[in-house]
Amino acid sequence: MWLVVGLGNPGKKYEHNRHNLGFLAVDAIAGKYHASPWAKKFNGMISEGREARGEEWLYFLKPQTFMNLSGESVAAAARFYKIPPEKILVFYDELDLLPGKLRVKQSGGNGGHNGIKSIDAHMGDNSWRIRLGIGHPGDKDRVSDYVLSDFSKEEWQTQEKMIDAVKEAFPLLIESDTAGFMNKVALILNPPLPSIFPPPLRGRGREGGEDSTSQGKVDHARQLRSNMTDAEKKLWYHLRRENIAGCKFRRQHPLGPYIVDFVCLEKKLILEVDGSQHAEVMIEDAKRTEYLARTGHKVLRFWNNEVMENMEGVLQKIRMELEES
């Protein structure tokens, strides 16, 4: 028996606020299990269902007390169903995680989240917390307005994907496989990239042997693949998928022998992917400066972790740069 809690504020006014991401996630999970219609109980909305094998009852709860008093509703439901804290899953929004990211942990601090503070005050901190990233506005004075505002169109696209992934991976949570749950969510959101290189060509030359030109192209593609990092492969895949301004992969251009880049030929834009945000930035030597001045190319640099963790943000920066050029 599990109590699955989503945190948020009641009423149409708050329905699509960032602070209501917990409600939205639990709505989706309850739908997956064809749970009963929502009913008023425990100062909240309650619904019930069974997991796929029918062995576990699942009770879904959305406290209607407003965020700061969520613990009253959760504690009342837990007492009624005799569900211990370690069998309670709480889904809620997290400022300290980027949109599309999540973390799972049992107990620990409340991170300043008023709903979690209330639950901890009423029944201790031994419940499971599923923190769903909404990002931070960058200024603590803007936090209240930020969490009580609706998602932007772009944010909601990211959150919809996250909610779908959470719904799909949820059975692993009630099997107490939290690591498996997080891994499955990550794989759904960032599936392994399909091969972006053509299969080996089987053409025949005039002498009846392998076509040397075709084979040379295949060998070159294999060499590129072996030299590309995961971040470079991911960026190239998305550039090709989005068909952004004819961007092509090129290694060791005149800017220097250690650069791996993508060149948007139509717009004279060079995209660089570097190893780490903490790595030393390449010295802007005279040759590099002269090349950029002569060709009119502009360089846009991204870090590996930026590409791997925030591809939509990377693509947005590229599109903005291309529109301005």
- DSSP per residue, 76-136: HHHHHHT--GGGEEEEEEETTS-TT-EEEEES---TT-HHHHHHHHHH-S-SEEEEEE---
**Phi then psi dihedrals of residue 319, to 5 deg:** -60, -45
Active-site pick, 16, 19, 136, 238: 19
**Rounded CA separation 146/135 (Å):** 10
3-class state of residue 300 by DSSP = strand
3-class state of residue 50 by DSSP = strand
Is 278 annotated in the active site? no
Q: Six-digit token pair at 212?
A: 């040397």
50: left (phi over 0), alpha (psi -120 to 50) or beta: beta
What's 185's DSSP letter?
H
Report the catalytic residues. 19
